[in-house]
Amino acid sequence: MTAPEPAPAPAPAPEHRDAGTSAPPAPPDAPATPDAAAPPDTPGREPTRLRRELRAVHALVHRDLLRLSSQPTHTALMLLQPVLYLFILGGGLAALIPTSTLGVGYQTYLFPGMLMMTVQTPAIMVGIRLITDRQSGYLRELLMAPVSRTTLLLGSCAGGTTVAAVQGAVLLAMAGAVGLPYDPLLLALLMGGMILASFTITALSLALAVSLQRAEVFHMLLGVVMMPLLFLSGGFFPLDSLPGWARSLAAVNPIAYGVDLLRRSITLRLPDRATAAGIEWFGSRPPLALEAAALLAAGALALLWAAHRFKRPD
């Protein structure tokens, strides 16, 4: 039984033979581009490049939100700290600090700072997670995705900002408890300020994380830096009572900008609750819009730098 094997010439190219039988290549109808033979993802249509990148960003935001909802205890604990500060520290000190010194009750005064505190924890976690993802190998899985590395970094940043904003919104819902009205515009302003601040802190955290190899170093750095940053944020007490050098330090503190932004948003809607001055540039307060722009620019620059560092392939 040697006869009916139809293969005309398998002999001259023995190496290619089994390939030809198992996977039919398409040389006749696809002469030039090898991609034409690629199996289509969805029959008919290929999503555009931009769409793919946006989907990847969305995937990362989705991951962060899923993590948030799958760890309710963790989330509650992260919210606990600012709530404790607000009602225990704030409540206790309110009796000592007369309203006349700050223009408002101490709890109301503390509120913007606590909003920032709520927002900053998840924002900073993004940087830590970039490092732990790198250590666990999850980052490599992400890098395998057919999207640019910048997209992945943007996705992480968007995810961190979203989670921070969600947590901030929870605390914002307690505005009534510190004597602020539920005015839609005020809430929108505060929300906007929080989102902006979350973005900048997330971006800064990512910029730090891309250049650090170990999570411990990050934690150590945070431990050293966070306390002064919080004290110099104007969240707990007015900055103008501080010595000059401390005020110049506050002028480069992103958290101080965030707090100031939120505080001034309140003043904008409720002029009768004008509080003591926050950030000062050369002895005068910059316009609100400029302050917001500075915060945005700092975040954007940090993100650009992080993307630049992150883009470098191995």
Partner 1 sequence: MKPHAGDDAPARALLLTAAPEDPDSTRSAPEPAYAISTHGLVKSYPGPDGTAVHAVRGLDLDVSQGETFAFLGPNGAGKSTTIAMLCALARPTAGRAVVAGTDVVARPDRVRRNVGMLFQHSALDPDLTAEQNLYIHARLYGMGRRHARRRVGETLEAVALTDRRRSPVRTLSGGMRRRLEIARGLLHEPRILFLDEPTTGLDPHARAQVWDHLRTLRERHGTTLFVTTHYLEEAENCDRLAIIDAGRLVAQGTPFALRAAIGDDRVVLRTGDDTRARQVVHQTAPPDTALTLDADGLCLRVPDGSAWIPRLCAALEAHGIPVRAASATPPTLDDVFFHHTGRSITTARPPQPETGKDA
State the residues that interact with partner 1 by CB under 8 A: 14-20, 22-23, 25-27, 34-35, 37-39, 41-42, 47, 51-53, 55-56, 58-60, 62-63, 66-67, 70-71, 134, 136-148, 313-314
Query: Residue 112's Cα: distance from chain center in Å?
Result: 19
Among residues 99 and 136, whose Cβ is nearest to partner 1? 136
Other CB atoms within 10 Å distance of the CB of residue 162 = 21
- How far apart (Å, rounded) are the C-alpha atoms in residues 310 and 314? 10
Read off the amino acid at residue 111.
Answer: F
Give the residue ranges of DSSP H helices in the chain: 17-22, 49-70, 72-84, 90-94, 99-102, 106-136, 138-144, 149-172, 184-210, 215-231, 244-250, 254-269, 288-311
- Closest distance of CB 149 from partner 1, Å: 10
Confirm if 157 and 130 have CB atoms less than 8 A apart.
no
Among residues 20 and 92, whose Cβ is nearest to partner 1? 20
- Closest distance of CB 48 from partner 1, Å: 9
DSSP assignments along 217-285, one per residue = HHHHHHHHHHHHHHHTTTSSS-GGGS-HHHHHHHTT-HHHHHHHHHHHHHHHH-GGG-------BTTBP
139: helix, coil or strand? helix
Among residues 37 and 225, whose Cβ is nearest to partner 1? 37
- Closest distance of CB 217 from partner 1, Å: 17
Among residues 64 and 260, whose Cβ is nearest to partner 1? 64
Among residues 52 and 269, whose Cβ is nearest to partner 1? 52
Among residues 21 and 81, whose Cβ is nearest to partner 1? 21
Confirm if 134 and 126 have CB atoms less than 8 A apart.
no
Residue 143 φ then ψ, to 5°: -65, -25
- Closest distance of CB 194 from partner 1, Å: 25
- Closest distance of CB 158 from partner 1, Å: 13
